[in-house]
């Protein structure tokens, strides 16, 4: 029998989750709820049922994923509350919203799980981190099978770790894309065509990722940056400019923001 799942919100992360779920060998009946009716055209290729309002269809799902903006969490929780039973499990992907904040708005006493992943979930290449109250020793079997069918799942021991992973992992792809753009633009500035710059940069990034996957990064740096060579000159300039401290500061800023996303 196919499991029924409801996803609230049809933004970029939902689309990435649907891509990942679509690559799974397990089959699900998926409802997506989003008040923006235009999203129906975006979701057509995922073979899901789209709803622009909250309906009784939600009550058929034992698993509800909240993939909406944190600022909308009160309205969203109150909207799903009439359709939640004591068998429902809510997975929240809303950055900065605590489990307690969600449970306080629900009539039923249910399991609420905080989750964090990133857009790489779409290509089956991402971890899905979760936190659930310590009183729950392990995830219900059906939920564990659902999540592990499209992601590598890891349990966190505190909600603070979820906040940290929001900055480090959830936002992580943006850091790589940002650096990719810097390198690509430098190719262009040095006379290469836009097409060449994109091709060469993407090759550089994917090839480097493969190297990192099978080598220690410090050993790699020693292999690539020969003494007195061009690479050493580049790395020396990056160190001089304290790029590592700038990146560290940026990630810490994201972490602080995740803890105070609603000023709480």
**164 shares its domain with 200:** no
C-beta of residue 64 within 8 angstroms of C-beta of residue 84: yes
C-beta of residue 40 within 8 angstroms of C-beta of residue 50: yes
**159 shares its domain with 182:** no
The more confidently predicted of residues 129 and 1 is 129
The structural domain count of the chain equals 2
Contacts of 201 (CB under 8 A, 6+ apart): 180, 183, 184, 187
Domain that holds residue 138: 3-169
**37 shares its domain with 90:** yes
**155 shares its domain with 181:** no
Residue 264 included in any domain: no
Q: What does the pLDDT look like over 8-47, one tens digit per residue? A: 999 999 999 999 999 888 889 999 999 999 999 999 999 9
Q: Which of 169, 186, 207 is the last residue of a domain?
A: 169
C-beta of residue 78 within 8 angstroms of C-beta of residue 51: no
Residue in the block written with tokens 């905080």 = 114
How would you label 173-190 residue by residue, b for 16+ Cβ within 10 Å and e otherwise?
Answer: eeeeeeeeeeebeebeee
Contacts of 138 (CB under 8 A, 6+ apart): 144
Residue 98 included in any domain: yes
Contacts of 217 (CB under 8 A, 6+ apart): none
Residue 202 included in any domain: yes
**63 shares its domain with 118:** yes
Q: Which of 169, 199, 219 is the last residue of a domain?
A: 169
Q: What does the pLDDT look like over 145-179, one tens digit per residue? A: 999 999 999 999 999 999 999 999 999 999 999 99
Q: Give the pLDDT band of residue 74 (cuts 50, 70, 90).
A: very high
Q: Which of 149, 169, 189 is the last residue of a domain?
A: 169
Question: What is the C-alpha to C-alpha distance for residues 117 and 112, in angstroms, rounded to an integer?
Answer: 17
């Amino acid at each position: 029998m196919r499991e029924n799942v409801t996803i609230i919100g049809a933004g970029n992360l939902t689309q990435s989750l649907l891509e990942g779920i679509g690559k799974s060998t397990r089959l699900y009946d998926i409802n997506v709820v989003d008040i923006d009716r235009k999203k129906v055209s975006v979701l057509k290729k995922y073979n899901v049922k789209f709803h622009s309002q909250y309906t009784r269809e939600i009550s058929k799902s034992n698993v509800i994923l909240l993939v909406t903006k944190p600022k909308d969490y009160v309205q969203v929780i109150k909207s799903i509350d009439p359709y939640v039973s004591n068998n429902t499990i809510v997975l929240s992907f809303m950055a900065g919203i605590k489990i307690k904040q969600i449970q306080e708005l629900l009539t039923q006493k249910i399991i609420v799980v905080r989750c964090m992943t990133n857009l790489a979930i779409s290509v089956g290449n991402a971890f899905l981190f979760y936190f659930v109250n310590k009183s729950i020793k392990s995830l219900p079997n059906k939920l564990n099978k659902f999540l592990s069918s499209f992601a590598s799942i890891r349990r966190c021991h505190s909600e603070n770790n979820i906040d940290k992973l929001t900055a480090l992992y959830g936002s992580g792809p943006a850091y790589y894309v940002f650096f990719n753009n810097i390198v690509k633009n430098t190719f262009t500035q040095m006379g290469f065509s836009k097409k060449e710059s994109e091709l060469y940069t993407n090759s550089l990034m994917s090839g480097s990722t493969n190297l990192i996957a099978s080598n220690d990064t410090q050993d790699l740096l020693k292999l690539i940056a020969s003494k007195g060579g061009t690479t050493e000159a580049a790395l020396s300039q990056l160190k001089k400019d304290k790029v590592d401290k700038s990146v560290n500061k940026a990630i810490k800023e994201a972490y602080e923001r995740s803890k105070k996303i609603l000023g709480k």
